[in-house]
Amino acid sequence: MSDPQKHILIEQQEGILTIRFNRTEKKNALTTAMYAAILDALIAADQDDSVKVILFAAQPDMFTAGNDLKDFLTRDTSEEPAAIKMLRQLAVQKKPIVAAASGIAVGIGVTLLLHCDLVYVGENTRLRLPFVNLAVVPEAASSLLLPDIMGRQRASELLMLGDFFDARRAHEYGIANAVIANEEVFDFALAKAKELAAKPREALLLTKQLITRNRRSDVQQRIDDEAIVFAERMVSEEARQVMAAFFSGKS
């Protein structure tokens, strides 16, 4: 089994396509190959009539620690990042998306949730958006979506300070629908996914389309805008110093 197949587990049952992060030895940090595997799964899900709902999950104690920085820094820069392709697809996904996040959710582990239709977090979950701390900028249109969801000041608090915040605050700020015991969050989210899957199919798809219609082009444009600045920041002297300290264990 190749690394992407081991690290991204895809399972389909009862109309639910589960995409599970499974790189536990690296805290589910996402690599280029993992992003590519998620992208393929998302595209296939929208083309497969037997898939009614997509469910993102991991383990009770770890959703994802974010991007694998070493992989990100050594990727082929002549090609568009698989992460950006995946985010663009996520933003236009036709099928409803549910997320079960518990443990640690950092970076993409939080911004991915902004593109989900229903989000459930474990009660002991710690979330973080550390972009500024790494001398880069937000991703996944989070600089647009977070102020929309929670207001400018709260979004600035999360994106500029980059501190950890808890599940209660994620719920209060509108990132999550509910806070569930860590060991129960997947089953709870799966039950909600099954509820969605049992709904009239066309009505469900059209409802999602109507909810997201006004923001769709704005979100796609912001994903691209952020990606340009992010790439510029990655080769900046400021980022080089921060990354060097990070890998030396001094950050």
CA 68 from centre of chain: 14
Give the three-state DSSP class for 172. helix
Residue 178: name the closest of 188, 191, 163, 193 by CA: 188
Tell how strand 126-128 and strand 165-166 pair up. Answer: antiparallel
Alpha-carbon distance values, 248 to 71, 85, 242, 244 (Å): 16, 31, 10, 6
How far is 228 from 244, CA to CA, in rounded Å? 22
Q: What does the alpha-carbon distance between residue 137 and residue 237 come to, in Å, rounded to a whole number?
A: 15
Each residue's pLDDT expressed in tens, for the chain with a length of 251 residues: 567 679 999 999 999 999 999 999 999 999 999 999 999 999 999 999 999 999 999 999 999 999 998 887 776 767 889 999 999 999 999 999 999 999 999 999 999 999 999 999 999 999 999 999 999 999 999 999 999 999 999 999 999 999 999 999 999 999 999 999 999 999 999 999 999 999 999 999 999 999 999 888 999 999 999 999 999 998 899 999 998 888 776 55
Calpha distance 244→251 (Å, rounded): 9
Please give the model's pTM, rounded to 2 decimal places.
Answer: 0.95
Round to whole Å and give the CA distance between 130 and 237.
Answer: 18
In the CATH scheme, what is the code of domain 3-183+200-248?
3.90.226.10
Residues 139-156: pLDDT tens digits? 999 999 999 999 999 999
CB 111 within 8 A of CB 155: no
pLDDT tens profile 216-227 = 899 999 999 999
- Residue boundaries of the structural domains of the chain: 3-183+200-248
pLDDT per residue over 22-58, tens digit each? 999 999 999 999 999 999 999 999 999 999 999 999 9
Q: At what angle do helices 216-234 and 82-92 cross, to 10 degrees?
A: 160
131 residue type, one letter: F
Checking DSSP bridges between strand 118-122 and strand 178-180, what pairing results, if any?
parallel
